[in-house]
Structure 1
Amino acid sequence: RLKADIWVKAYIRRCQVEGADAVLARRGDADAGAIYIKIARLDGTATVFGPAPAGLDVEREDRRWVPALATPWAPEPDCDAFLARQVDFDPDIWIVAVDDRQGRHFLDDWLATGA
């Protein structure tokens, strides 16, 4: 399993290559911090992907993600409040912020099945 800092750098680069603006919004534990990804469509709405719960895609050892919110798109302040609660719960998390008008997340290969 890749260390969190290496995975985040590679993901940000992939987003940028695809034409999206991606930045590290919060640095977490370099080795094993949980990674959250906020996708903002630049229209006031956003969504968040978080680590898949244990047990999903157990045959895969790499990192997996699931939508973290009950709705596909929410007001961006609601997403920010959700992420702030996650930081309060676990100060070692990473947050990557992606701005993409089309709402692309670039996580197709890493989405957990069975979510």
Structure 2
Amino acid sequence: METLPRLKAEIWVKALIRRCETAGAQAMVVRRGDASSGTVVVKVSRLDRTASVFVPTRAGDGSLVWMQATGAAPVAEPDADAYIEKQRKFDPDIWVVEIEDRQGRHFLQEPVN
């Protein structure tokens, strides 16, 4: 299988924020990770004290997919933040992008499981 060049994390994050803003949602970098290769964690706050957290993973064929790390349903925002903090302690190079959207849209272009 051919490996495609990976987009730098910083560029990917900027593109995600732009997609969010174009659609009328707010997005911001809450934690800046390694500019080249940091993993990106996406938190979607519904502005009702609930949130969802999405983390990247690989499908069986090696393609990028996103996993709903906190489960299919939104969780209390402190629970989402605790999950992110645990990941940050495990990987100090992660990026955290928070999207504020009442509809709960994540704006990720890859499949979400």
Q: TM-score, normalised by structure 1?
A: 0.87
1:70, distance to aligned residue in structure 2 (A)? 2.7
Match of 1:106 in 2: 107
Stretches (4+) displaced over 4 A: none
Which structure's residues are more often strand, by fraction?
2
Q: Structure 1 residue 85 and structure 2 residue 82: aligned?
A: no
Alignment RMSD = 1.4
Match of 2:66 in 1: 65
Identical residues among aligned pairs (%): 50
Q: For the residues of structure 1 that align with 2:35 and 2:23, how far apart are their CA atoms?
A: 25
Q: How many aligned positions are there?
A: 108
Q: For the residues of structure 1 that align with 2:15 and 2:74, how far apart are their CA atoms?
A: 25
Gaps spanning 5+ residues in structure 1: where? none
Specify which of 39, 42, 45 is matched with residue 37 of structure 1: 42
Question: Residues 16-69 of structure 1, C-alpha deviation per residue, up to 9 Å, x if partnerless?
Answer: 0000000000000111111000000000100000011x4x05253xx4311111
AA aligned to 1:20 is A
Gaps spanning 5+ residues in structure 2: where? 1-5
